[in-house]
Chains A and B, each alone.
Chain A
Amino acid sequence: MIFHSLEFAAFFIVTVTIYWRLPLAAQNVLLLVASYVFYGWVHPWWPVLLLITTVVDYWSARRIAESVSGSRLPAPSSRKKWLWLSIAANLGLLGVYKYFDFFVGNVAAAVAALGWNIPPIALRLALPAGISFYTFQSMSYTIDVYRGHAPARRSFIDVAAFVSFFPHLVAGPIMRATNLLPQIEQKRTFSAAAARDATVVIVWGFFKKLVIADNTGVIANKVFALQHPDFFVLWAGVFAFAIQIYADFSAYTDIARGVAKWYGFDLIRNFQRPYLASGPADFWHRWNISLSTWFRDYVFIPLGGSRRGPGRVATNLMITFLASGIWHGASWNYVLWGAYHGVLLIIARAAGDVRASLQARKPARPRAPRWLRPLQVIAMFVLTCIGWLIFRETELTQLIADFALVPSASTAIERSAGIYLFLLALLYSTPLWAHDLWVELGGLDLTRSIDKPEAWVPWTRALAQAALCGVLFAVILTLRSQTALNFIYFAF
């Protein structure tokens, strides 16, 4: 089921109405059933995979905990065995559904290059939506239990509700067991103030998805369907895709956070105005935060993090970003995209070290002037867009051709077309830029209010929220894209 459908609207109204009339245990059962219905709405077999993940991780965590509690006292190697079972099951599921064909295809190509021919093997399995998100979330539960950061839960229902919680199931944010499971276990009460603020966030999310992301997505799709785009049209398409992916992904997060709030849950923020980042490290503190921190905590830090020498840190960063790249999809362009961002971070880190050593020699040297920040933001946005070209262009030969394009080779009509498409994407994204700049400069954040709902707000605020939601809804009705596009991250 997708958020922007009347099926979901009906599903939401029915479940939320029943939900708040039930005691806690029944609420969790309802959440679990609703989540499986939501996930299996189009493909009824998808929940089977979800159930397998849940059972394996519930069982593994229980066995790990039993060894810690001392009731049966298996050896530490036994704890590790259960941890590896969980990791292998989750990564195995991902491997079969997401990476098998890619891996076998590349091996076959490599072998063919050596002159041997092997018959092609391909499973051609349809990738279940959200599998990359829920396997990582579920796996983090067993890892946290293993590390002693979270207790293993006795209630299978609670663990299953945690893994399958439908608002964020398909495209995140990835929640940790230490954050979401306690919320599932504790009593929740309906707050009309929270629901009010959540409604604003939900409507803003739908606006970003249906008006901004889908309209700019149509531009990007048209450009990336061209066999030989020119310089101006290509980079207008890249700009449109940059807007699309941000508006699309952050819209999903906003809707997920808003919907979860209606059920009494807090999901973490996943975006903090990423296109206003002033450097690579800043960007990754603002983009897909839940995934970035997941890779930081479960890959980068176990590899040694920043604790060793510069060479080892660079290696750790590169491994982490390559893993993040391949997480996005079984294709070399995602690997390249991860490597590109890894290199950017390593360079930025090295530049930071040089700057720090210079400052240490001349303590009076002032920090970077304020006027430099807009230039840094623009430079980082350009670097981000280069990354998005690598991300979006799935054919490597085409990617090389794209980077070889020069402005002087464009015809007058191509130049005008590129400028037109750029301006059109800019026009559709104006509300997004305006909102982000407004918040960056200290204004009220639309999406932040649900983190701290105020029980009492002045009537003027409530009326302003009502007017804002009404105007956004009117624009959604009027200017939503005629071409319905899936959420991009459903494909990952």
Chain B
Amino acid sequence: MRGQVLSLAVVLAGTLAVPLGLRALNGAVPGADVRDSYLPTVETPRPREPFDQAAADAVREVQPQFVVIGDSMAGIRIDPLQLSRQAHRQVVGLYQQGSPVAYWYLAFKNLAVENSLKSLRGAIFFFRDDQLTTQVQVTPGSLDRVARDHELELDRVLAANRLGVFSEVHRAARSVYQFDRTRTWLEPVLLHGPAKLAARTMPAPGLLKAINTEVFALDRLRPFETADLAASQGGALEFQANVGDSLLPEIIRLAEGAQIKLAFIRVQRRPAAEGPPPQSPELTAYVNALKGYLEARGAYFHDDWGDPDEPLSMYADGDHLTAEGRLRYTQRFSERHARFLQ
């Protein structure tokens, strides 16, 4: 019996101990000693683009009273110069096309709150539907230009969102085994081997790039949901279940600390010919819960959904407005939200 228990202990110990050899491998392989990212719990060590100090300096030079933050939904709706003229306030747009909430958070933190903007009064976030709480995850590199060397709060929130209550275990495992560092040199070796065999006339990186940009180009994809066998169901629109692991509390905390007003504008998606865009009861409930949450914390909330002043004729492609629509929207925005812009 004792021998059996010992052999079980040996197997369990071996399972946990052998991967420590990855550290030795990392030490032996040239180029494997890359730095941790600013998101050490959730992201593999990798080279990064530097923080965009010039952008931070440019914003500081303007000393805006309001910043408008978001992705193309904000950029295609608000012309900062026009809004500055109409509201008689200095407004700067911190837009990034296709950016996630984490980008908005970092732009707010590093380009506004912690950028010595002495006259900053408010920040206006534009978003679609459930974007504020569900699109929290990030792809590597997408935040580099707005991230400092250490983004502990963002790392904490993303880790909790992705890894739950066990994020500390993940952090410890990454630190002890250093498996992410192994991945940074091992994975390219694995990917390039088959690529060299598949295309002898083309270098492996060239083939991989061509596969991504030509074979799997976005315009060659069919609607995602029909292709995903294991698509998740439900859950995403439960506001209360998601808000705790989102960046909203952190954005509000930052604003409170800096005594900055916050506004959240839910943009209207492309309307139908005969009226507002369709909206499920679940999404309506979600938006109501979001509104209640924000207003209870002193933030301003406005929902563009069903606005008769935003007919289909204002839209170009998708949820984007035409250039003329942008001018009209900006004008309406300054009138409708004049009190906030005071």
Q: Are B11 and A226 in contact (CB under 8 A)?
A: no
B62 lies within 8 A of chain A by Cβ: no
A85 CA to B227 CA in the complex, in Å?
Answer: 38
Q: Is the CB of A419 within 8 A of B222?
A: no
**Which one of B14, B170, B202 has the highest number of Cβ atoms from chain A below 10 Å of its Cβ?**
B14
Q: State whether B227 touches A470 (Cβ < 8 A).
A: no
Shortest Cβ distance from B282 into chain A, in angstroms?
Answer: 11
Q: Which of B186-224 contact A (CB under 8 A)?
A: 186-187, 190-191, 193-195, 197-199, 202, 207-208, 210-211, 214-216, 220-222, 224
Contacts of B173 in A (CB 8 A): 477
Query: What are 22 A-B contacts with C-beta separation under 8 Å?
Result: A127-B233, A221-B229, A226-B216, A226-B221, A226-B222, A227-B222, A413-B215, A416-B199, A416-B207, A416-B211, A419-B197, A462-B11, A463-B10, A465-B14, A470-B16, A471-B18, A479-B187, A479-B190, A486-B232, A488-B229, A488-B230, A490-B230
Residues of A with C-beta under 8 A to B224 = 225
| Contact pick for A473, options B5, B15, B228, CB 8 Å | B15
Number of A-B contacts (CB under 8 A): 165
Given A416-B198, A423-B194, A477-B8 contact (CB < 8 Å):
no
List residues 198-249 of chain A with CB under 8 A from any CB of chain B: 199-200, 203, 221-222, 224-228, 233
Considering only residues 459-477 of chain A, those with a C-beta below 8 Å from chain B are: 459, 462-463, 465-467, 469-471, 473-474, 477
Question: How far, in angstroms, from A225 to B222 measured CA to CA in the complex?
Answer: 6
If A7-B164, A470-B17 touch, does A427 touch B190 (CB 8 Å cutoff)?
yes
Are B5 and A192 in contact, with the CB atoms below 8 A?
yes
- Scoring A224, A463, A474 by chain B CB atoms within 10 A of each residue's CB, the highest score goes to A474
Which of A222, A414, A479, A485 has a CB less than 8 Å from the CB of B183?
A479
Find out whether the CB atom of A200 lies under 8 angstroms from the CB atom of B197: no
Residues from chain B with Cβ under 8 Å of A459 in the complex: 7
**CB-based nearest B residue for A394:** B226
Contact (A420, B8) CB under 8 Å given A467-B14, A470-B14: no
Determine if B198 and A420 form an interchain contact, defined as CB atoms under 8 angstroms apart: yes
- Nearest B-chain residue to A200, judged by Cβ: B11
Most buried by B among A7, A467, A490: A467
In the assembled complex, B177 has its CB within 8 A of some CB on chain A = yes
A478 to chain B, nearest CB (A): 5
Tell me the nearest residue of chain B to A458, going by C-beta.
B7
How far is B198's CA from A423's CA once the two chains are assembled, in angstroms? 8
Least CB distance, B235 to chain A, in whole angstroms? 8
Are the CB atoms of B202 and A416 closer together than 8 Å?
yes
CA distance A227 to B227 in the complex (A): 10
Contact in complex: A192, B226 (CB < 8 Å): no
Q: How far is the CA of A126 from the CA of B221 in the complex (A)?
A: 26
Cα–Cα distance between A487 and B183 once the two chains are bound (Å): 24
How far is B17's CA from A474's CA once the two chains are assembled, in angstroms?
9
Query: Which secondary structure characterizes the binding site on chain B?
Result: helix
Which residues does chain A contribute within 8 Å of B190, judged by CB atoms? 424, 427, 479
State whether the Cβ of A371 lies closer than 8 Å to any Cβ in chain B: no
B1 in contact (CB, < 8 A): yes
B169 contacts the other chain (Cβ, under 8 Å)? yes
- With A126-B233, A413-B214, A417-B198 given, name 19 new contacts (CB 8 A): A7-B164, A7-B166, A126-B234, A191-B4, A196-B8, A222-B216, A226-B215, A226-B222, A227-B222, A419-B197, A419-B198, A462-B7, A463-B10, A463-B14, A465-B11, A470-B18, A477-B179, A486-B230, A490-B230
- For residue A123, give the distance in angstroms from its CB to the closest CB of chain B: 13
Contacts of B197 in A (CB 8 A): 419-420, 423
Write out the residue numbers on chain A whose beta carbons fall within 8 Å of the beta carbon of B229.
Answer: 221, 224, 392, 394, 488, 491
* CB neighbours of B21 from chain A (8 A): 474
Confirm or deny: B257 has a beta carbon within 8 angstroms of a beta carbon on chain A: no
Are B179 and A199 closer than 8 Å at their CB atoms? Answer: no
Asked if residues B230 and A478 are in contact (CB atoms below 8 Å), the reply is no
Are A225 and B11 touching (Cβ within 8 A)? no
Q: Mark B1-30, 1 if CB is under 8 A from A, else 0.
A: 101111110111111111101100000000
A residues 156-203 with Cβ under 8 Å of B?
A: 191-193, 195-196, 199-200, 203
Q: Which residues of A contact B163 (CB under 8 A)?
A: 6
| Chain B residues near A394 (CB-CB < 8 A) | 226, 229
Measured CA separation A455–B183 after assembly (Å): 38
Whether a CB of chain A sits under 8 angstroms from the CB of B182 is: yes
B164 neighbours in A (Cβ, 8 Å): 6-7
Closest to A199 in B: B11
Within the assembled complex, what's the spacing in Å between the Cα atoms of A36 and B187?
40
A423 to B221, CA, bound (A): 23
What's the minimum C-beta distance from A470 to chain B, rounded to whole angstroms?
2
Complex interface residues of chain A between 422 and 470 (CB less than 8 A to chain B): 423-424, 426-427, 455-457, 459, 462-463, 465-467, 469-470
- Cβ of A395 < 8 Å from any Cβ of B? yes
Given the complex of chains A and B, what is the CA–CA distance between A392 and B17 in angstroms?
Answer: 40
Instruction: Report the nearest A residue to B233, measured CB to CB.
Output: A126
Nearest residue in B to A469 (C-beta to C-beta)?
B15
Q: B18–A473 contact, CB under 8 A?
A: yes
Instruction: Please provide the 5 A-B residue pairs with the shortest distance between their CB atoms, ordered closest to farther.
Output: A470-B18, A466-B14, A423-B194, A420-B198, A192-B4
Given contacts A7-B166, A420-B195, A477-B173, contact A466 B18 (CB under 8 A): yes
> What does the 1/0 interface line of A1-19 toward B look like (CB < 8 Å)?
0000011001000000000
The answer to whether residues A227 and B214 also contact, given A424-B191, A457-B7 and a CB cut-off of 8 A, is no
- Contact flag A473-B211 (CB < 8 Å), given A6-B166, A491-B229: no
User: Which residues from B are CB-within-8-Å of A395?
Assistant: 226
Q: How far is the CB of A297 from chain B (nearest CB, A)?
A: 29
Docked CA distance A227–B216 (Å): 10
- A414 to B215, Cβ gap below 8 A? yes
Residue of A nearest to B140 (CB): A482
Give Cα distance in the complex from A457 to B7, angstroms.
8
Could you mark each residue 167-180 of chain B with 1 if its beta carbon is under 8 Å from any beta carbon of chain A, else 0?
Answer: 00110010001010
Are B183 and A462 neighbours in the complex by a CB distance under 8 Å? no
Most chain B Cβ neighbours within 10 Å, of A191, A221, A423, A462:
A462
The chain B residue with its CB closest to the CB of A398 is B222
Check A427/B22 contact, CB under 8 A, given A226-B220, A462-B10. Answer: no
Knowing A7-B164, A196-B7, A416-B207 are in contact, say whether A485-B216 is a contact too (CB < 8 A). no
Chain A residues near B232 (CB-CB < 8 A)? 486
Contact yes or no, B227 A225, CB < 8 A: yes
Q: In the complex, what distance in Å separates the CA atom of A224 from the CA atom of B226? A: 9
Asked if A470 and B15 sit within 8 Å, CB to CB, the answer is yes
Which residues of A have CB within 8 Å of B222? 225-227, 398
Q: In chain B, what residue has the closest Cβ to A482?
A: B44
Shortest distance in angstroms between A16's beta carbon and chain B's nearest beta carbon? 13
A456 CB contacts on chain B under 8 angstroms = 3-4
- Are B19 and A477 touching (Cβ within 8 A)? yes
Q: Could you say which residues of chain A place their CB within 8 Å of the CB of B198?
A: 416-417, 419-420, 423
**A126 to chain B: closest residue by CB:** B233
CA distance A191 to B8 in the complex (A): 10
B162 — nearest CB in chain A belongs to which residue?
A484
Assuming the contacts A203-B15, A463-B14, A473-B18, asked whether A221 and B220 have C-beta atoms less than 8 A apart, the reply is no
